[in-house]
Structure 1
Amino acid sequence: MSAPRPLREQLRLPLTRDVPAGAAAFVRSDCNAYAFDALAAWPDSAGQVMAICGPAGCGKSHLAALWAERVGAIPLNGAEAALADPLELEGRPVLLDIAQDADDETLFHLINLAQQDGGALLMVSRPSPRRWDVKVPDLRSRLDAVRVVAMEAPDDAVLSAILTARFAERSITPGDGVIDYLVKRIDRSADSIAAVVDRLDAEHRPVTRALARQVLESSSPTLDEA
């Protein structure tokens, strides 16, 4: 494969994505403590590249968005990174979510830009960069050298906190035992929480353990009916 084109030739269009406004507080727990602590003071010098990896719904994009707000990083997303304006990226931290979907040349140039004063690159993906399918040998070696921090599926503490927050957003006060009941039975992801809270809210009646059981038993197979 020919050498990657200079970034100025590849990335032409202005950025259109913003970091999500008003990101909610992130719950630190055993399942995410390693990644949380790794980002707390990062980057502490120029030329740094890091990747956060973990299963769907583990909160990696949320944690990365909080980091981006803290350091003023420019957010990019997957294949859309190829449309970024290079002048916006020079000397700035960059957050690349769904990073495995970016093309080889874009990844190569973003890693190079991270070497500039003020630069840094945080990549977010489910698989580790070491497992991405890339064709450029120099990119392969660079990705293999990236510092990777892993996150696990949300544990009970995180699920309980997210459920509490989602109910509060809808001014719902769940009955005694509802949150503990749901934590033991729903898929361990933010998407599952959002779905079950939507269904409970749609009932337009007090959210009791009996209602929670009824909703779970009539829901999709992704929810445990036991």
Structure 2
Amino acid sequence: MTPHQLSFDLPVRPALGREDFFVSPANAEAVAMIDSWETWPSRKLILAGPTGSGKTHLTHVWAALSGARIIAAADLTDADIPALALSPLAIEDAEQTAGNRAAEEALFHLHNLSLAEGHTILLTAERPPHLWPLRLPDLMSRMQGTLVTQLRAPDDALLAAVLTKLFADRQIAPSPDTVPYLSRRIDRSFAAVREVVETLDAAALAERRAITRAFAAQVLDKMV
């Protein structure tokens, strides 16, 4: 057992730079849209995808490119809307405004004011806007009139890359055969990848064990 393979209770620091984002067929279209942000129709885009698919990472990449501010949709009702509209803006989890009259109205006014000021808007959500249960008709029409790009379910290369990145974010170096083994065993979803890495980290910390293929197999058997 080598010291660098042990799991330690260290802060999780996600790497959110453009160079840290692994491009595969599952996300290549979305990455291309972020890179070409100055050509978005009507200066707005919705980035849709499941939890853990890379929406937050790409949002930070876009913010670095455009100089945008980032705000959670849940914070819009308490935000200074005119001030937010003075620069490019990323609104995370925009779908969560649905059903909340005040939040929907805040998003509607921010959308209109930002575009009127000549700025660009990126919105993220788990689903395309036609699936959001919005109650404000004017907001619904604005969202459904926005170009959507989607992050797809992970292919083999992306699954392995996300596993590697999440281990690195936790400053963990598993044995070389661990990631290929996990890629073959776990459910093919971003949620499953995150759950497995979190569970392995906690188990390795509790048992003071290195994360190896054998240890991963033991933990997966317990999870099943």
> What TM bracket, shorter-length normalisation?
0.7 to 0.9
Which residue is 2:208 aligned to? Answer: 204
Structure 2 alignment gaps of length 5 or more: 1-12, 98-102
Q: Give yes or no for contact 2:41–2:147 (8 Å, CA) kept in 1.
A: no
Asked if 1:53 corresponds to 2:48, the answer is yes
The count of residues paired between Structure 1 and Structure 2 equals 201
What is the TM-score with the length of structure 2 in the denominator? 0.79
Cα distance change, pair 193–70 in 1 and its aligned pair in 2 (3 A) = farther
How many percent of aligned residue pairs carry the same amino acid?
Answer: 34
CA distance in 1, matches of 2:222, 2:134: 43
Please tell me the residue identity of whatever aligns with 2:198: A
Q: Secondary structure at the match of 2:37?
A: coil
* RMSD of aligned Cα (Å): 2.4
Which residue is 1:27 aligned to? Answer: 22
Higher helix share: 2
The structure with higher relative contact order (CA 8 Å, sep 6+) is: 2
Which residue is 2:115 aligned to? Answer: 115
CA distance in 2, matches of 1:213, 1:167: 16
CA distance in 2, matches of 1:176, 1:35: 30
Q: Give yes or no for contact 1:55–1:126 (8 Å, CA) kept in 2.
A: yes
Cα distance change, pair 151–177 in 1 and its aligned pair in 2 (3 A) = same
Shift of 1:206: 3.2
Asked if 1:67 corresponds to 2:71, the answer is no
Please tell me the residue identity of whatever aligns with 2:58: L
Shift of 1:36: 0.6
Shift of 1:172: 4.1
Q: Secondary structure at the match of 2:214?
A: helix
Please tell me the residue identity of whatever aligns with 2:147: R
Cα distance change, pair 207–191 in 1 and its aligned pair in 2 (3 A) = closer
Please tell me the residue identity of whatever aligns with 1:161: A
CA distance in 1, matches of 2:83, 2:14: 20
Shift of 1:117: 4.2
Shift of 1:198: 1.1
Structure 1 alignment gaps of length 5 or more: 1-19, 222-226
Residue 195 (structure 2) aligned to one of 188, 192, 195: 192
Which residue is 1:86 aligned to? Answer: 81
Please tell me the residue identity of whatever aligns with 1:86: I
Shift of 1:97: 0.7
Cα distance change, pair 197–43 in 1 and its aligned pair in 2 (3 A) = farther
Q: Give yes or no for contact 2:14–2:169 (8 Å, CA) kept in 1.
A: no
Equivalences for residues 215-226 of structure 1 within 5 A: 215-219=219-223, 221=224
